[in-house]
Amino acid sequence: MKKLIIPLLIILLICGCTKETKKEEVVKKEKKEEPVVVEETYKDLNNTPIGIYKLNGNTLTKLTSIDKHLNVEEDIGVFQIYPSNEDVINLNTNYGESFYNEYIKYPNIKIGFNIKYETSNGVTSYNILSPDNTFDHWEHLMNYLYDDYANRYSSFYSHIESNQVNENTLYTSIKLQASYSCSEITNIKLTVFTYDTEDDFLNNEYRGNSKYTMNININ
């Protein structure tokens, strides 16, 4: 009987070792077949010149900063956008027409804005890509977009409403207005940028090359 038991034990030990070895081989094989995660690389080829200006007659002057005291429901300012890096631009025709003539040199480019302001509670930052989100933080600021090209022959016109936007709409100007909690604001940064795809944003922050920022100092 003992002679039978000993061979059986040897067979069981061999089988056990074989199963364990096969199990280790499977684990190693599974590890080797894990997909390699390739980190996304972003490269922006959009170098459209863009700036924030103040229009006076037929002259555009680039703004780097302004000083402003905020009063509820009063305008902080109307700021013209222009596809240029020049500090001073003398226009040959009206602003809307001039904007269009420069803008068409950069096809498939869209214009957006970022508003960043500081209060005692911290920094708030948000993008404006259409009239839909001009009032995202209306307790502090109200914002309005204008299409000066569509209204180039009008002496008076209003801001763009969401239902008026179409494929030909141009965001040529933006107005900032103080709202009922404006006294909490200590600083405002207005940025204009151009973009072509959603890749130009990461976590809702613009990361492209084509942008310009001005500072609004609150006094």
Residue 162 lies in a domain: yes
Q: Tell the residue number behind the tokens 């001073």, with chain if given.
A: 88
Q: Give me the residues paired with residue 60 across strands.
A: 55, 89
Residue 38 lies in a domain: no
Residue 62 lies in a domain: yes
Tell me what pLDDT residue 115 has: 97
Residue 101 lies in a domain: yes
pTM above 0.85, yes or no: no
Helix, strand and coil content of the chain, in percent to the nearest 5, comes to 25, 35, 40
Tell me what pLDDT residue 17 has: 45
> Which string of DSSP letters, residue by residue, matches 22-81?
HHHHHHHHHHHTSPPPPPP----------EEEEEETTEEEE-SEEEE---TT-EEEEEEE
Residue 12 lies in a domain: no
Residue 45 lies in a domain: no
Residue 114 lies in a domain: yes
The tally of domains found in the chain comes to 1
Residue 196 lies in a domain: yes
- List the chain pLDDT tens, one digit each, 219 residues: 545 455 544 554 455 544 454 555 555 555 555 665 555 689 998 999 999 999 999 999 999 999 999 999 999 999 999 999 999 999 999 999 999 999 999 999 999 999 999 999 999 999 999 999 999 999 999 999 999 999 999 989 999 999 999 999 999 999 999 999 999 999 999 999 999 999 999 999 999 999 999 999 999
* Residue 119 lies in domain: 51-218
